[in-house]
Amino acid sequence: MLVKNRAYFKEVPAIRICLWLCIGIILANYTPVLLTPILALGTILFMGVILLKIRYKNLIINTLLITLGIVLFILQKPSSHRYYVDENNSNNFYFVGTIDSEPKVGKSTRAKVKILAKRDSNLHWQPKSGNIIAYFKQDSLAPELKIGQTVLMHGALSRIQKNQNPLAFDFQRYMNYQSIEYQIFVRSDAWSIIKEPENNLKNFTANLRQYCIQTIKKYIKNEDNRAIASAMLLGYRNNLSEEIYTAYTDTGAVHVLAVSGLHVGIVNIILLYCLFFLPQRRTWSNAIRAIFTIAGIWLFALLTGAAPAVLRASVMFSLFTLGSIFYPRMNAYNILGSSAIILLLYNPFLLFQGSFQFSYLALFSILYFQPKISKWYMPRYWLDKQIWGLLTVAIAAQVLVFPVTIYYFHKFAASFWISGIAAISLAFLIIALGMVVLILSPISETFTTWAAWLLERVLDLFIGIIKCIQKLPYSSLNDLWLSESQMYILYLGLASMMCWITFKSRRWIFPILCTTIIFLGISLSRNVNTNRQKFIIVYDVQRELIVDFIQGHSAYEYTSNDENQKLLKFARANFRLSKKISEITPLDSIHHSNQVYKNNGVISFSEQTIAIADKNHHEWRYLNNIDYLIIGSIYTDSFLRLIEDKNIGQIIISNKMYPKWSKNLRQLLDEAEIPYLFTGDQAVIINLNA
């Protein structure tokens, strides 16, 4: 059996190389301290195999691949670049940089800027390198920014802060994976365009993309149809409404709104149809077909913003096209693995991006499971074959994708098998008609109008089907929670199951049972802990005081301002979900409860007295014994005098206070040697069972 396993893995060398490379990148991300010994070990083993020709060459090669992954990660880290920030000087500086991503318009215009130079305190310009995120204050000029423009900016760089709320989305980590550590907020009068885009491929495709977006806007009248067409054809998702995006997420069809392998595959098929007149099995015709399709695929990739999923699909289809000419029997797994290796060599941080993970997991799952699932039923008629083929692809893709889907989105679209058939079928029509509209727009107004009308009808049908599926009972299973450790255990179990299916060895049943028992044990432990949990959490939300009093599966919330529900959800939704909170009650709506009692700014919870010190709540001044004093926004001058005769167990300073006041208060407490907790450092969690 061991020989059979080795023979099988020898058939997919690209997968093996990719696996060890990924292990190195992951090691560098989570345990960078291992860099020096691993590099040393890799060098020693390399010299050994060259000079002494020792055995265990596979071990040596695998070690070198891990070392390569670590080195790639370290070299791409922002801290390894020649940076442009003086951490000890907070003064404003002048920067010159190039707009390096498509600006996104919201409350401000956000864009990635590639720094070219910085003016120092001596008024000397110095060449610098690195990437930052710039927020341009919204005015009449900011929306006119475009890729390739060189801008002069004046402002202070600040490090992107980590989200201090537990389990909330970490924007700092997300930007670090894009080699960005700093941001700048630019006033309307503090920037100017000093150079228009140069004539290069990137700027050409950016201008072409804007032209295509304007063309769709001109011919597609319905706003939702226009947003979906722009997303599917050009990867432009800025105009998608929350309602439409939620409908596609709930039904499992959201992947068609993000340009990915499906779209690249459809474009590839359309390009091949355009060359139907070329003879088959001729070297020269195959070469023309390969050049034409590869060029078309990469133009489409650049036109859609070159997202990880598009890059993966473009590399894969390019390799597949070349392989079909030179290596007709090339293994599909090797093509998939080779495309991943190429992308990771280019940018190892892609491994930690959700779109990259979804893309490769989905395709690997389809390659492995679809042939096996398709054997469950053998259709006899053409229509049955088409529907069954689409259904098996949809089911196969979900096998390896569902753990990361639950981990990232906390939901699972149970109706994916219905929406998948509609999405894949109509996506071909939408992309084909969209390409006709874009190609005909400069040629014939009449034909373009007719094609656009037909495209709108297909989009109407698509949206209508998705909304109908969304209304089905149990279409989407929401509020699911999967911890990171549970996700890894699930994948270990799935990998063991795949080995069991492939090698048909009973020894793989043991790891399957072990991972199942561990997974169920973690779930049971979580249920037991949440049944008896009792704690207070003060969230880190700027200009707001947000507190949850949690007992069992119930949460009693105190909110100084509940108008911005999106911000509040961002801060606390994941933590509540992880604690299995099923009942949420605002404290102001409670008239009588055995668990909690509120009287203006004084709260009694689990035999603890919690006082709110805020502009609207002064009751704490009249209490002598306070277990927890939570400070919202107060005048700091007389604070020490007010608390000198009080017995206060713990002082908690929220981020509601103005930064200057908060800093002054913390300095006063530090000088008086009075301990306190500050939510700006980390959200405060008080476990009352401890």
Nearest residue to 317 via CA among 341, 333, 293:
293
| CB distance 253 to 490 below 8 Å | no
Is 551's pLDDT higher than 80? yes
Measured from the Cβ of residue 291, the count of other Cβ atoms closer than 10 Å reads: 11
Place of tokens 């060189």: 150
Q: pLDDT value at position 90? A: 46
Range 679-687 average pLDDT: 90
**pLDDT number for residue 513:** 93
Residue 281 has pLDDT above 70, yes or no: no
Give me the mean pLDDT over the 449-467 stretch.
91
Residue 505 has pLDDT above 70, yes or no: yes
User: Which pLDDT score, from 0 to 100, does residue 677 have?
Assistant: 92
Instruction: Judge whether residue 286 has pLDDT over 60.
Output: yes
Task: State what percent of residues in the chain have pLDDT above 70.
Answer: 90
- Which whole-number Å values give the CA distances from 579 to 151, 415, 538, 582, in the listed order? 47, 27, 15, 9
What is the structure's pLDDT at 495? 92
Give the pLDDT confidence score for residue 163 in this predicted structure. 85
Q: What confidence score (pLDDT) does residue 82 get?
A: 47
203 pLDDT exceeds 70?
yes
* pLDDT given for residue 368 in this prediction: 92
**Residues 336, 267: contact at Cβ < 8 Å?**
no
Q: Please state the separation of Cα 644 from the chain's center in Å.
A: 48
Does 14 have pLDDT greater than 70? yes
C-alpha to C-alpha distance for 6 and 4, rounded to whole angstroms:
5
pLDDT exceeds 50 at position 176? yes
- Using the predicted structure, report yes or no on whether residue 628 has a pLDDT greater than 90: yes
Which pLDDT belongs to residue 41? 65
The pLDDT value recorded for residue 26 is 87
pLDDT in the model for residue 50: 60
pLDDT, position 547? 92
- What number is the average pLDDT over the span 582-602? 81
Residue 591: pLDDT band with limits 50, 70, 90: low
Rg over alpha carbons for the chain, rounded to the nearest Å, is 29
Higher pLDDT, 34 or 631: 631
How far from chain centre, in Å, is Cα 58? 35
Residue 672 tokens, joined: 């008086």
Please compute the mean of the pLDDT values over residues 633-662 and round it to a whole number: 85
Give the pLDDT band (50/70/90) at residue 377.
Answer: confident
For the cut 60, the answer to whether the pLDDT of residue 1 exceeds it is no
- Judged against a pLDDT cut of 80, whether residue 168 lies above it is answered with yes
Q: What pLDDT digit, counting tens, does each position of 595-627 carry? A: 788 888 888 888 889 999 888 888 888 888 999
d(CA 115, CA 118): 8
Tokens representing 603?
């709260």
pLDDT for 2 equals 46
Residues 627, 650 contacting (CB under 8 angstroms): yes
Instruction: Check residues 113 and 421 and name the one with the higher pLDDT.
Output: 113
pLDDT of 89 strictly over 50: no
Torsion sign across C-alpha atoms 25, 26, 32, 35:
negative
**Number of neighbours of residue 524 by Cβ within 10 angstroms:** 10
Flag whether pLDDT at 454 surpasses 90. Answer: yes
Average confidence (pLDDT) over 268-280: 76
CB < 8 Å & 24+ apart, contacts of 509-516: 515/489, 515/490
Confidence of residue 242 (pLDDT cuts 50, 70, 90): confident
- Chain position carrying tokens 């409908």: 247
pLDDT exceeds cutoff 50 at 295: yes
- Averaged confidence pLDDT in the chain: 83
Residue 660 has pLDDT above 60, yes or no: yes
User: Measuring CA to CA, which residue among 295, 338, 339 is closest to residue 313?
Assistant: 339
Of 88, 101, 92, 218, give the one whose Cα is nearest residue 148. Answer: 101
Looking at 186-200, 264-278, 385-399, 608-622, which range is the least confident one? Answer: 264-278
- The predicted pLDDT at position 422 comes to 82
Mean pLDDT of 207-219: 86
pLDDT-wise least confident of 11-15, 64-68, 445-449, 589-593: 589-593
Are 111 and 145 in contact by the 8 Å Cβ rule? The answer is: yes
Structure tokens, 512: 């399957």
Q: How far apart are CA 101 and CA 108, in angstroms?
A: 15
